[in-house]
Amino acid sequence: MEDLLINIDKNEYKIHYDKNNHSVIFVDEKPFEIELLKKNSSDVFSFVVNQKIYQVSLNFDENNSLVISHNGIEYKIESTNEMKKLLGQYIINSSNNNKSSAGLIKAPMPGLVVKILVKEGMQVIEDDKLIVVEAMKMENTLKSPVSGLVKSIKVEEGQAVDKGAILLDIEV
């Protein structure tokens, strides 16, 4: 485990992380399970953090601080070269993992399949709505990360699914 100290709005936090496993970090000993779902644009990312989906913007300001924006609120983190390197490695590692399974649509968290919006053999384009999964009393519409053909649907409406369960397979 590696340690990193970060400052957010004059508060200091101790971060523990494993260089080989970017899926869990500890902030002041509290664990956070993190998964990069999608890079939406050059600075906007969708993450699952402790089974909740967040869309955030990541930028560096003129003082070289990392600015994380979520729902109109900005958090400034004094950045160090180690933090920049870690963030870059995390995004690269997550992106590489996502490329190898770009057409596999997986459940971001445990839930219930509410509605399947596509059929096998159907042509889809990037950002088409594919399936609705209810988790923690919230409906999440999963969109296609790629353009292609719906090769197979692995679930049925009303089916309970675990986190990471394959829901659909899209042939790129």
- Domain extents for the chain? 2-100, 104-171
pLDDT in tens, 61-112: 887 788 889 888 988 887 777 777 777 666 656 555 554 456 788 888 899 9
Question: What tokens appear for 162 in the block?
Answer: 């675990």
Task: Read off the pTM.
Answer: 0.53
d(Cα 55, Cα 140) in Å, to the nearest integer?
13
In b/e form, how buried is each residue of 129-158, taking b as 16+ CB within 10 angstroms?
Answer: ebbbbebeeeebebebbbebebeebebeee
Return the sign of the alpha-carbon dihedral for residues 122, 108, 92, 6: positive
Over residues 40-50, the pLDDT tens digits come to 777 888 888 88
CATH of domain 104-171: 2.40.50.100
User: Which amino acid, one-letter code, is at 132?
Assistant: V
Q: Over 80: is that where the pLDDT of 1 sits?
A: no
Mean pLDDT for the chain overall: 83
Q: Which helix (H) or strand (E) holds 81?
A: helix 81-100
Token pair belonging to 7:
């400052």
Determine the Cα–Cα distance for residues 70 and 57; give it in Å rounded to an integer.
7
Listed in sequence order, the residues at least 6 apart from 89 whose beta carbon sits closer than 8 Å to its beta carbon are 19, 22
pLDDT for res 161: 94
User: Which of 61, 162, 72, 168 shows the shortest CA–CA distance to 120?
Assistant: 168
Whether CATH 3.40.640.10 fits 2-100? no
